[in-house]
Amino acid sequence: MVEHRMVDVNGVRLHIAEQGEGPLVVLLHGFPESWHSWHHQFGPLTDAGFRVVAPDQRGYGLSDHPEDVGAYTVLHLVGDVVGLIRALGEEKAYVVGHDWGAPVAWHTALLRPDMVRGVAGLSVPPPFRGTRPPLAAMDERFGGRFYWNYFDRPGVADAEFGKDVRTTLRKFFYAASGSAPYSGEVKQPLVGTGRGWLADMPDPEVLPEWLTEDDLDVLTESFSRGFTGALNWYRNLDRNWELTAPWHGAVVTRPALYMYGDRDAVPAFPGAPELIARLPRLMPSLWREPIELAGCGHWTQQERPDEVNAALVAFLRACA
């Protein structure tokens, strides 16, 4: 059984879900998700002999939602993971992240390799710091229409998403999935001028098999306090670029695994395809070449749980 409790970590209280015994595996969700995004992974990972812990990260679900935008930098988020590992009585852990959880996992391995047995990222590739602040770069490239820039505007996306939380989540999850209509080309996530993020997203009459009404119930409840805490992660993108200057050019050295869907927009961001193609040369610690999941969208571990679980178990055992 998955058990739930609150843990004091790094100046905040985090809600965690945990199950199993053995080496610790920390699962870090992304946006707009919660610990529940990993519900398909608990059983297989615990059956394989691991202790699995998935927190609601700061700004999400039952965990604390600091009001200060500056409390959501990548250093705060890595600090939460480090503090969580310690609070759970461990010195080291495997760290796995999806979407925003992936940069947190990658940076935990980059900044605290002494505490990471192995690191896996889903959707978002390993960090290679660019030469320009990301919000500024995307603003210039796409005329302010890239979704990062839309999310960066105080109160705007917060209000749009909060009007009807369940509809927001249903549209967001469907539109970014491999189940949505596909033209054969992954498009950049741009926001129509004056239209909002959700305006052009399809709203499915029937949910795809991998997303149930019960899943939506859990997600909707987890955003009962709004989206501001989660959106504040995006509002620190340029600040994160500044804070990580000392690690410019640094490479993750711990054993690593990267997995993504071929219909996911994130691996198609400007520069991402070229980076992914070069990863085996850039990262000697990469356990195997990046795993591309055919027909899969953004929600890798939910859309393709069997394939993700098999790859994770094999990777974790190889790191032991």
| Measured distance between the N- and C-terminal CA atoms of the chain, rounded to whole angstroms | 25
Helix, strand, coil content of the chain in percent (nearest 5): 40, 15, 40
Bridge partners, residue 196, by sequence: 192
The pLDDT mean for the chain works out to: 97
**Per-residue pLDDT tens listing for the chain (320 residues):** 999 999 999 999 999 999 999 999 999 999 999 999 999 999 999 999 999 999 999 999 999 999 999 999 999 999 999 999 999 999 999 999 999 999 999 999 999 999 999 999 999 999 999 999 999 999 999 999 999 999 999 999 999 999 999 999 999 999 999 999 998 899 999 998 888 999 989 999 999 999 999 999 999 999 999 999 999 999 999 999 999 999 999 999 999 999 999 999 999 999 999 999 999 999 999 999 999 999 999 999 999 999 999 999 999 999 98
Would you say the pTM of this structure is higher than 0.95? yes
Between helices 101-111 and 74-87, what is the axis angle to 10°?
70
Tokens of 72: 């959501």
Beta strands 51-55 and 12-19 are antiparallel
Buried b (16+ CB within 10 A) or exposed e, 143-177: ebbbbbbbbbeeeebbebbeeebeebbbbbbbbbb
Residue 248's SS3 state is coil
Distance CA 28, CA 33 (A): 10
CB within 8 Å of 295: residues ≥ 6 apart: 178, 261, 262, 263
Four-residue CA torsion sign, 104, 109, 115, 117: positive
Q: Which residues are catalytic?
A: 99, 298
